[in-house]
A = this chain, B = another copy of it.
Amino acid sequence: MTHNDGRVRAVIDAVRPAVDGGRFAVKRTVGEALEVEAHCFADGHDVLRAVLAWRGEDAKDWQEIEMQPLGNDVWRAGFTPESIGRYRYTVAAWVDRFATWRHDFARRDDPADRALAVLAGAELAGQAAARATGADAKALADWAKRLRHSTEAALDEEMAAIAARHPDRSHEARWPLEMPLTVERARARFSTWYELFPRSAAAEPGRHGTFKDVEQRLAYVAELGFDVLYLPPIHPVGRERRKGKNNAVSAAPDEVGSPWAIGAREGGHKSIHPQLGTQEDFRRLVQAAAEHGLEIALDIAYQCAPDHPYVKQHPDWFRKRADGSIQYAENPPKKYEDIYPFDFECEDWQALWAELKSVFDHWIGEGVKIFRVDNPHTKAFAFWEWAIAELQRAHPDVIFLAEAFTRPKVMHRLAKLGYTQSYTYFAWRNTKQELTEYFTELAQGPGREYFRPNVWPNTPDILTEALQVGGRAAFMQRLALAATLSANYGIYGPAYELMEHRPREPGSEEYLDSEKYQLRHWDLERADSLRAYIAAFNRIRRENPALQADASLRFLRADNDQLIAYVKQTPDGANQIVCVVNLSPHHTHGGWVELDLAALGIEPDRPYQMHDLLSGARYLWNGPRNFVQLDPQRSPAHVFRVRRHLHREQDFDYFL
């Protein structure tokens, strides 16, 4: 910050929130407040004023909100964006001569001194009158006249308020950065995903499923309470070097291959696999899903089967080996010969970027607004920043989920570059300490301003050891944790509700007979299905806004290491949820759970009701410490809504 005018005496520093000093956007959703803090001060003892200024990125005029001093030179103000899009915010501060005069005047005790000082006040009032118009100008001018003859009205509150509306800001300091803010729709913050393979959706075993079959499945998915239905790639599957069942190196002629081996003579990333249906079928599916309250999310995987049309049309988009063949994906000594990665360092990179972006444009044109991006961390970062910005500028309601299971800084970078949501390490966080540390970091660490976790207990690539060995209780526990720890979560079904748990081989996280390489048929009506359990959690999530955001998450003390307890609440405290989960898949555990009553607004000496939203049971609790016991075979979790006691004289007992 350099000043051309040396008379700028105010200083602004440490404007927060800021992602990498304003290099990247802070994220919010519509209706979520952005609270901004800054350090503002000036030399000496003069009185400072500061404003938070914000505008839509394309708006010319700034809106301003007066900041309030919190002490220690920290100032704060907030605003709540009412529509999606990109915004800018900054801070201005100035030494306020009128406020300084008034502050000093109130402390003057020498009458001669006051008589002289009031004349300075009259001059300042006159100057404020000159800056004002209409009624304010007249009121200030009149007041200035009165001050010239009497000290009586010097501290008039009303006049001070009018003068404050017309400050002299000619020497104001302004934070040199216009900090970016991206405001997305509510689903960016709160979403519940169900992943299924359309080709396994046929009603009868052995037949290749179609979009029409998926249409028949919509009621089931909606009944389970999901709002996003995510489909693995729906494009033509490559035939060259096609993989067989259980990732066999070669496929029998009738095998279906992996949908992530994209592209064949029928087309590539903008085409539909003929066995799934037509473009028209797809459009109808999107429409039917919407009627069930479901959005279709597509998988974008930037890689090509050897017979993808791009390979012939744009051989220069791929790297060559010394023998002139195209370089397949590899991480020596491992080879993935059925996949060609794009070469982001190729000479023709601009055309490549444009074509890759146009894949999104195509599907947006088909009505898709949510994309799960496969392995974004193996494509150039600069591409994502450009593509997401361009796409969201045209379609600010598009949501991107980054499937990057990789190193922390890389995952955070993708979120900074614009990804709406990010997969997490949740699948591998099992103990109380692991879960507490990880979710505390997610909710309270610097990433909370830009990294929105989307947690999955399983995916087609991830069948964790916990699920392999923990039985039904493990599936219930991991579902309970995912659905309540994170406002965004998803499952890969029907494998999840049917508790599919056989690995391809011991020590592997791959499913045996994985749908990635073959059709499967699922018996949704099985008596042991977890569908009702899952539906209960999704209903509770919809009904309780505390579970629809992550920043409020706080862990509670519980004196048993197998019991994890935490609380989430809305900013106004109107909705408060306390969860207790038994982490052992084998044994009943009990322990004392300690609430922070003050943080919940509960008076220490009054009872309060804990309403278990899963069982419907209501418990009357007293004081901060209460005993909880959970049998994982029956139900490993409590999801309590806290109902505070209201004391009204006309009621005997009334719970909010």
- Which residues of chain B are within 8 angstroms of A344 by Cβ–Cβ distance? 6-7, 9, 43
- A1 interface residue per 8 A CB criterion: yes
Let me know if A380 and B43 touch, CB within 8 A.
Answer: yes
Query: Does A333 sit at the interface, judged by CB under 8 A?
Result: yes
From B43, B323, B377, B380, contact of A379 by CB (8 A): B43
- By the criterion CB–CB under 8 Å, are B7 and A345 in contact? yes
Distance to closest chain B CB from A349 (angstroms) = 5
Contacts of A72 in B (CB 8 A): 407-409
Q: Is the CB of B380 within 8 A of A333?
A: no
> Scoring A residues 300 to 343 as 1 if CB is less than 8 Å from chain B, else 0, what string do you get?
00000000000000000000011100000011110000000000
A61 sits at the interface (CB 8 A): no
- Per-residue B-contact encoding for A405-446, CB less than 8 Å = 1, 0 else: 001111001000000000000000000000000000000000
Q: What residues of chain B lie closer than 8 Å to A110, measured between beta carbons?
A: 333
**1/0 contact string of A29-42 vs chain B (CB within 8 Å):** 00000000001011
Q: Which of A43, A95, A108, A330 has the most CB of B within 10 A?
A: A43
Q: Is the CB of B116 within 8 A of A322?
A: yes
With a CB–CB cut-off of 8 A, which chain B residues contact A521?
Answer: none
Q: Which residues of B contact A349 (CB under 8 A)?
A: 6-7
The CA-CA distance from A7 to B14 in the complex, in Å, is: 34
A391 interfacial contact with B, CB 8 Å: no
Within 8 A of B (CB), among A14-64: 14, 20-21, 23, 39, 41-45
Contact B43 A377 (CB under 8 A): yes
Partner of A116, one of B1, B39, B321, B333: B321
Q: Which of A1, A105, A410 has the most CB of B within 10 A?
A: A410
Contact among B3, B43, B119 with A378 in the assembled complex (CB-CB below 8 Å): B43
A interface: dominant SS: mixed
**Cβ B41 vs Cβ A11 within 8 A:** no
Quick check: is A13 within 8 A (CB to CB) of the other chain? yes
Whether A13 contacts B43 in the complex (CB less than 8 A), given A107-B333, A117-B322, comes out as: no
Enumerate chain B residues within 8 angstroms of A383, measured Cβ to Cβ: 6
Q: Which residues of B contact A9 (CB under 8 A)?
A: 344-345, 380-382
Whether A13 pairs with B8 at a CB distance below 8 angstroms is: no
Which residue of chain B lies nearest to A13 when distances are taken between CB atoms in the complex?
B20
1/0 per residue, CB under 8 A from B, across A108-120: the answer is 1110010011011
A104 to B321, CA, bound (A): 14
A99: shortest Cβ distance to chain B, in Å?
A: 14
Bound CA–CA A1/B43 (angstroms): 34
User: Chain A 367-401, CB within 8 Å of chain B: the 1/0 string?
Assistant: 00000000001111111001000000000000000
Nearest 8 CB-CB pairings of A with B: A119-B322, A107-B332, A21-B21, A73-B409, A104-B332, A44-B378, A7-B345, A109-B333
